[in-house]
Chains A and B, each alone.
Chain A
Amino acid sequence: MQEFDVIIVGAGPAGLRAADRLARAKLRVLCVDKKQEIGVPKRCAEGLGLGWFKRLGLKPDPKWAVQEIRGAALYAPSGKVVEMRFPETNGFVLERRVFEKELARQASENGALIKTKADAFEFERSGGRVNVKVREGSEVVEYSARLIFACDGVETLTARRLGVNTTMPLADYDSGYQYEMANIDFENSDLINIFFGLEIAPRGYLWIFPKGKHQANVGIGIGGTSEKTAKYYLDKFIESQPGLKKGSIIEVNCGCVPVGGFLDDMTADNLLIAGDAAHQVNPIHGGGIGLAMEGADIASGVAIRAFEENDFSHDFLKQYNDLWYEARGNKLKAVLKKRRMFENLQDKDFETLAANISGEDVMKLSAGDLVEAAKVVTKKLMKSPGLVKVMLKYLK
């Protein structure tokens, strides 16, 4: 049985970032992914805000940061639009298959061993280590490690197999569906375009994330309990937009996003959980690339200390929870509260919002902070008592 210090299950942004960090600390790292190709299929609209590049020390490379974004255009159901266009770049749309292969190359060059089409399906704790069975093609190979990182996405079976049940009520997931489209016409190829409305995307939104002037990720995320499917709403929208209807679908993506809350405990004996598996997702916009990599950084720091102290117990590893909540989780909990407000907005509320606020209003606020934006919007909308009632309930 081949021994490693850490086995990471899942080679997405969280798993590959952790692989890199741990390998740089001279730990012996194996990162396995059941998929045949890293970064494919994406379950993602591929947007990443500029703040994350700074926080994570990433340099946008045109090979994978394929479209500069200057801001956002928000569409009310009637089509009225609020545009926020910043003078400078404030984010990028990525080509994730290229981005993640780049992360994999870096981690690999720093000493991590990465395997694709390698499905870790059985875990057994034994003598302070975890024995892991991995299906590699027709063979089953056994490995062991002191620590397991569960970075295997929203459906993480790794965390569950090691005793942490990550499943939430259905209402706490969004159901997502997306086409990458070519030869389409749309407004604002330098902005992310977001469409609201109960008939367009119930308890969610629809998006066009540009990848060039005539190519984009056109997708939708709706509440997990919605009666009709995400595909139904997206197809209906595309049918109604001649500029989209004429285009080609060059990729179909689909996925489910944990938007309803975070895990109180992302650890167990010999186990750390990061990324979508730990629900490290922004509950309002559903973005998770940056959060996954930040979560992996924090978890890696704890893992490195665990090796220094030779302590892999739940008691030791649980400091990851405090560190993550302090750095990020508590802020996201506040965002989650605000989400409840957006869930209660009716179509007429979206129209009132679009009619009363300008892009400048929103831009004046600190770097697109949705919570701050919502507070200012509330002040401007005192004329609309029904809407204010909904907002006040959630904006204390």
Chain B
Amino acid sequence: MVVRNDAEKCCYCGGCVGSCPVQALELKDGRIVVDVEKCTSCGNCVKICPVAAMELEK
């Protein structure tokens, strides 16, 4: 299970990047990039996102 970014909802504010405890996220070239190796599915990015653009993918 990892997080997925919904590019249509995302405003690219980087809030998820800031709240990620393991540096699994990066705002790069105007996109949110998820490092699936690092992601622990903690859900921080899902909760902090102001527009529900991060989802835990089963």
Contacts and interface: CB of A to CB of B under 8 A. Distances in A.
A231 B27 CA distance: 21
| Residue from A34, A156, A175, A227 with most neighbouring chain B CB atoms (10 Å) | A175
A175 B14 contact: no
Nearest to A227: B47
Contact of A255 (B28, B29, B50, B52): B50
Contacts of B20: 167
B52 to A, nearest CB: 5
B33 to A, nearest CB: 11
B11 A155 contact: no
Contacts of B40: none
A252 B52 CA distance: 15
B13 to A, nearest CB: 4
Contacts of A226: 47
B21 A167 contact: yes
A283 to B, nearest CB: 16
A157 B17 contact: yes
Contacts of B11: 41, 252-254
A253 B15 CA distance: 12
Contacts of A256: 13-16, 18-19, 48, 50
A229 B55 CA distance: 13
A258 B48 contact: no
Given A167-B20, A167-B21, A155 B15 contact: yes
Nearest to B23: A160
The bracket for how many chain B residues form the interface is 20 to 34
A227 B44 CA distance: 11
A34 B29 CA distance: 8
A175 B17 contact: no
A230 B16 CA distance: 14
Interface in B40-58: 44, 47-52
A337 interface: no
A255 B15 contact: yes
B51 A231 contact: yes
Given A155-B14, A155-B27, A170-B44, A254 B50 contact: yes
A273 to B, nearest CB: 13
Contact of A157 (B12, B26, B52): B26
Contacts of B21: 167
Contacts of B28: 34, 119, 121
A167 B51 contact: no
A155 B17 contact: yes
A111 interface: no
A119 B30 CA distance: 11
A156 B14 CA distance: 9
Interface of A: 34, 41, 43, 119, 121, 153-157, 160, 167, 170, 173, 175-177, 224-227, 229-231, 252-256, 258
Top-5 shortest CB links A-B: A256-B15, A155-B17, A230-B50, A154-B18, A155-B18
Given A41-B12, A173-B48, 11 more contacts: A154-B14, A154-B18, A156-B18, A157-B17, A167-B21, A170-B47, A175-B15, A175-B50, A177-B50, A227-B47, A256-B18
